[in-house]
Structure 1
């Protein structure tokens, strides 16, 4: 007669977490490192010719035709007021899929993909009204590195960048 199976209650298995929930693509803007959720990234391309659009804000570099889709391109260095960007062989465009919309952001370079544990993510420090931290998910720490984790969906749908949606869709 088969023995009834017993459940091991001394060492229950935790529920499966989403393994990519805390994976971030890291990139550089000036001397700082930033991270965005890897699930929002569609592809990474070299900086190429961009068609400028008249009367657009300075941080909107223009648009590119990506396999038949017109994609607005935002220069993050200008958006974050980090000075004029020097475009070189390391400059890349990260193509994002945010809320069903394809858009690109110009960054100084891509570093790597990191998985951060919850204890490696610190809350955004309270900086009052001096600095707008609405788009910052938190600060990630990896060894001696500090990453500014950006909520790219909040940033790209904000009132100032939200112009992209009304201008190009």
Structure 2
């Protein structure tokens, strides 16, 4: 009996303007409702500010702004996905986060050449599942500390 060794990857699926995106569960600490965000002066436009999450001051990034997608008012389904990368914890504001799925790493394809140009640099790959197409986000590039911490004039 031979088994093919294709590792499963657990992904959290979230929505931004009707598109489905995904990040590995291993990078996610929690999913929270939007709470009061304190604005921090002189930060990049996509950095919304900080929140006090269970005693920890956590920077918040609006992924719509990060990907140059029109901003919308937060709704009942808007969520903040708290992610951890190296020694940094950051909250990502998304339209909705409602799915955890398992995918085979073999079902991940490289990103297509032409994607919505701005977001293309933040994409690790594309996952096809049945009739769904999930865009796999590269958090290392999304959370590039030089850009996140950059002071705006």
Q: TM-score range by the shorter chain?
A: 0.7 to 0.9
Shift of 1:158: 5.6
Q: How far apart in 2 are the matches of 1:87 and 1:131?
A: 22
Kindly name which structure, 1 or 2, has the bigger radius of gyration based on alpha carbons: 1
If the length of structure 2 is used for normalisation, what is the TM-score?
Answer: 0.87
Aligned counterpart, 1:8: none
Partner Cα distance (1:113, 1:146) in 2: 14
Question: 3-state DSSP class of the match of 2:65?
Answer: helix
Question: What is the deviation of 1:100?
Answer: 2.1
Q: 1:132 to 1:31 in 2, by over 3 A?
A: closer
User: Who is 1:5 aligned against?
Assistant: none
How far, CA to CA, are the matches of 2:58 and 2:144 in structure 1?
15
| Residue segments in structure 1 that go unaligned for 5+ positions in a row | 1-10
Taking the aligned partners of 1:80 and 1:111, their CA distance within structure 2 comes to 20
- Rate the CA distance shift 1:75–1:131 in 2: closer, same or farther, 3 A: closer
Which deviations, in whole Å up to 9, do the C-alpha atoms of 1:67-125 show, x marking residues without a partner? 22110000001111110122010001011111121110100000201111133211111
The runs of at least 4 aligned residues of structure 1 exceeding 3 Å deviation read 11-15
Matched residue count: 150
Counterpart CA distance in 1 for 2:120 and 2:20 is: 16
Distance 1:132 1:116 in 2: 22
CA-based RMSD of the aligned residues comes to: 2.2
Distance 1:123 1:44, change over 3 A: same
Matched, 1:69 2:56: yes
Aligned equivalent of 1:102, options 89, 110, 122: 89
Distance 1:126 1:156, change over 3 A: same
The answer to which structure has the higher strand fraction is 2
Structure 2: gaps spanning 5 or more residues? none
